[in-house]
Amino acid sequence: ALPALLWLALAPLPGSPGPAARAELRVRVRLPGGQVTEESLQADSGSDCISLELRTADGALVTLTADFRQEVKIFRALILGELERGQSQFQALCFVTRLHRNEIIPSESMAKLRQKNPRTVRQAEEVRGLEHLSMDVAVNFSKGAQLSSHIHNVCAEAKEAIYTREEDVKFWLEKGVDGSMFEVLPQTSDLPDLQRCRLCGDRWKPCICSYSLSIEWYPCMLKYCKSRDAGGKVSSYKCGIRSCQKGYTFDYYVPQKQLCLWDEET
């Protein structure tokens, strides 16, 4: 049976990529606390990328951009600042990691998604395990377009706070990316008194900050249905998607705890 949630328009035949397609979809999703929020999904098969955006329960705006061409994932968080504690109106963070095959459905398939029941509140069919990432390298914003052209737009508000991992950097360097855009950040081994921010009592001391986000609903896999022609030959076709939820926790160096006030011992 076709899934009740979404259906896919007929895909082009193999070997005929078809015209580039762009599409936007809005899906109502339920957050862990029970609140309902609207998630925006955009796909552009011409530039081979997709993006998802949602507002979390604490008011942060979280965006995930997947650049399939460059094998790059960009997470951006716009976090509401604590004005009474000397922070600006919002704080922007960007985390850049390697995009692996089969993490998300292809942009061409995403551009063909159509929603049957727009008012229905969705919950992911599969919860994928929490990923804990140590972001030990800073990315230079002015050179970041060489890694992915989307960094320029997505991370414009986070110019001084773009982070990645050494193991992902090694992968990109092997692909020929310019290494001068990366700078290894101080580690606990370099600074023995470097603490986690939640344990640090001095707001002006450097520390290791932790930020967690969750993509509550995204199309992670294609579903295939079988059909049989008049001659009895069986063939399969794309007939829907499987949805997933996945959480991430990022650890990274900050020059002062003031930049990480959410990460406090409770």
List, for residues 20-30, the tens digit of each pLDDT value. 678 898 999 98
Query: How many C-beta atoms lie closer than 10 Å to residue 81's C-beta?
Result: 14
pLDDT for residue 152 is more than 50: yes
pLDDT for residue 9 is more than 50: no
Domain edges within the chain:
23-259
Please tell me the predicted confidence (pLDDT) of residue 263.
79
pLDDT for residue 14 is more than 70: no
Q: Could you report the per-residue pLDDT of 172-221, keeping only the tens digit for each? A: 999 999 999 999 998 877 777 899 999 998 999 999 999 999 999 999 99
Please tell me the predicted confidence (pLDDT) of residue 12.
41
Is 136 strand, coil or helix?
coil
Specify the length of the chain in residues. 266
- CA–CA separation, 92 and 83 (whole Å): 15
pLDDT for residue 7 is more than 60: no
Could you tell me if 14 and 249 are in contact, meaning their C-beta atoms sit under 8 angstroms apart? Answer: no
Write out the H or E segment, with its range, that includes residue 168. Answer: helix 166-174
Take residue 97 and report the two structure tokens written for it: 């990691």
Q: Average of pLDDT values for 90-114?
A: 91
Q: Average of pLDDT values for 43-63?
A: 93
- CA–CA separation, 40 and 215 (whole Å): 12
Please tell me the predicted confidence (pLDDT) of residue 2.
36
Sign of the Cα pseudo-torsion (91, 169, 110, 156, in order): positive
Query: How many C-beta atoms lie closer than 10 Å to residue 137's C-beta?
Result: 21
Is 38 strand, coil or helix?
strand
pTM, two decimal places: 0.87
Task: Give 251's strand partners.
Answer: 134, 210
| CA of residue 235 relative to chain centroid, distance | 34
Q: Average of pLDDT values for 21-48?
A: 90
pLDDT for residue 137 is more than 80: yes
pLDDT for residue 10 is more than 80: no
User: Which of 31-45, 80-94, 112-126, 169-183 has the highest average model confidence (pLDDT)?
Assistant: 169-183
What percent of the chain lies above the pLDDT cut of 90? 61
- CA–CA separation, 132 and 48 (whole Å): 27
| CA of residue 19 relative to chain centroid, distance | 26
